[in-house]
Structure 1
Amino acid sequence: MSEARLRRVNKEIADCQNDKASGILIALVDDSPFHLVGTFPGPENSPYEGGNFDVDIVVPDGYPFQPIKMKFITKVYHPNVSSQSGAICLDILKDQWTPILTLKSTLMSLRSLLCSPEPNDPQDAEVAKHYLSDRADFERTARYWTEIYANGSESARPPNADDDAAALARRKKGVKEDPALVAGLKLEHVEQFVNMGFERNAVIDVLKRLNYRGANVRNVTDDRVVNELLGI
C-alpha cells in the first residue's frame, strides 16, 4: 500500500508540474511527497482575482481512500475558510471524498470554491453573515485581503525548494495586517470617526468594546461612540 501510495502521489505531483494551463504549482516540504504546499491563482472576475493562494497539504497514510488534508496558508476572506486558522469547509475534504480525486482536481475545487461560496454551510460564521447581509461590502473586504495577503505567492517554486509551510506563513506575516479587519470591523465605521479627528487605534478599541463587529452591523450610533472616545 505504501509503495502504491508513493507512486500515485509522485505521478500527481508530476501531473501538476506538466500542466502549465491550470496555474497550479506544487512544492515539497522537507523533500517529502506527503507534505506539500500547493499554489493557485485566484479566479478571474472574483474578489480574489490577481492573488496567488498557498495551501498546506498533508497526504494521509490511507490515501487515496482517505481525503487529503488541506488548509490555507494565505489568509482568505471567505465564508468557507477560517479567517484565523485557514481551515476549509468543503465536502470533498470530508464525507464526499472519492479516490477518483487527485491533488490537482482538489486544488481546482478549492479555486472554484472561492468564486462559489456556500454561506449556509460556513467555516467562518461572521464572514458568512457579511456575505449574506452586504454582498458589495463583503467583496470589498475580500478584495482588500487579496491585495494585502495574496499579492505574490512565495511558494510558487519548483519542488524540492527548501521552504516549509511554517516558513511561508512567517513570511506572509511580514505583510501588515489592518487591525480593524482583524477585529472584524467595517473599515467605513472606523474611518468615519478617524475623520472626526480621533486616533484610529482608540476608535478600533471602542468599536470592539461596544460590539460593533460583524457584517450585520450596518450603522454606528455616533453619539455613543463619541462619548466613549471622549471618556464620558
Structure 2
Amino acid sequence: MADLAVLRIQREFQEVMTSDEIMRSSIKIELVNDSWTELRGEIAGPPDTPYEGGKFVLDIKVPPNYPFSPPRVRFVTAIWHPNISSVTGNICLDLLKDNWVAAMSLRTMLLSVQVLLGSPEPDDPQDAVVGRQFKSNHQMFLLTAQHWTNACAGGPHSLPDFDAKIEQLKNMGVGEHFARSVLSKENWNLQTSTAWLFGTMANPTHT
C-alpha cells in the first residue's frame, strides 16, 4: 500500500477514535493483526429499530488505492436486513460502490452503515428473501430481525416461541443457524420449514 494511503488511513483511524459523534453513536474501530489494510468495526443497533441493543461486528478491508476506491465492508455478525446478506454479510449501500468519493472517510462509512440499519431500502435488496418479507409481512420482518439481533448480536430481549422452534429443529439434527435461516425464510412456520428441510414439499432444485 502506498505511503500516502497509509497516512490517510492513520489520520482517519485517529479521527474515528476521538470523534464525539462516533462515541455517542457507540461505534468502535480497531486494527486486525496490526495492519492498516485490515480493520474491524463495531456498530450499535440504532434506537427504535429491531437492531436496538445489538452490537454488530464489521470486517473492513482497505484497498491499495484508498481513498479513491471505497473500503470493502461486510457484516461478520449475522443480521436480518434487506440490504445485508444473511448468508455472507455483504452490504448493498451506494456509498460503498458508485457514490463513494475520495472526500469520504472511515468515519463517514461507519456512520452510514449504522444509518442503513434504521433506514432499510427493500426495493434495492441485497437479500431478496428479507426484502420480500419486509414488504409483504412487515410485522414478521420486525420480529425476525429482533430475534437475529438477540441471538447473534447480544440483543436484550428474547422471543421464546422462535427459540422453541429452533430447538425442535435442532433436536432433529439441524444446525442452529441453518434452522434459524430456514424458519426466518418460512415466516417461522415450523411445518413448512420442516418440509423444506427434509424435502417432502420441495423439488430437488429448490434452494
TM-score range with shorter-chain normalisation? 0.7 to 0.9
1:8 Cα deviation after fit: 1.1
Aligned residue pairs, count = 176
Per the alignment, in what secondary structure is the counterpart of residue 26 of structure 1? strand
For 1:82, which of 81, 85, 92 is the aligned residue? Answer: 85
Counterpart-to-counterpart distance in 1, 2:118 and 2:15: 24
Structure 2 residue ranges without an equivalent (≥5)? 156-174, 203-207
SS in 1 for 2:95: helix
SS at match of 1:82: coil
* Alignment-derived partner of residue 141 in structure 1: 144
Residue 12 of structure 1 aligns to which amino acid in structure 2? E
| TM-score, structure 2 as length reference | 0.80
- The verdict on how the C-alpha distance between 1:30 and 1:135 changes in structure 2, with shifts beyond 3 A counting, is same
Aligned position for 2:186: 185
CA contact (8 A) 1:180 1:186 kept: no
- 5 Å matches for 1:1-232? 2-19=2-19, 20-151=23-154, 177-183=176-182, 184-187=185-188, 189-190=189-190, 204-208=193-197, 209=199, 210-211=201-202
Secondary structure of the corresponding residue to residue 55 of structure 1: strand
Query: What per-residue deviation string (whole Å, max 9, x for no partner) do you get for residues 54-109 of structure 1?
Result: 11001101100111110100001000000000011000111111111111110110
Answer whether contact 1:39 1:55 (CA < 8 A) is retained. Answer: yes
Amino acid in the other structure paired with 1:92: L
C-alpha displacement of 1:179:
4.0
- TM-score of the superposition, structure 1-length normalised? 0.71
Identity %: 39
Could you give the per-residue CA deviations for residues 110-137 of structure 1, whole angstroms, max 9, x where no partner exists?
1111111111111000100000001110
* Partner SS, residue 54 of structure 1: strand
How much is the aligned-residue C-alpha RMSD, in angstroms? 1.8
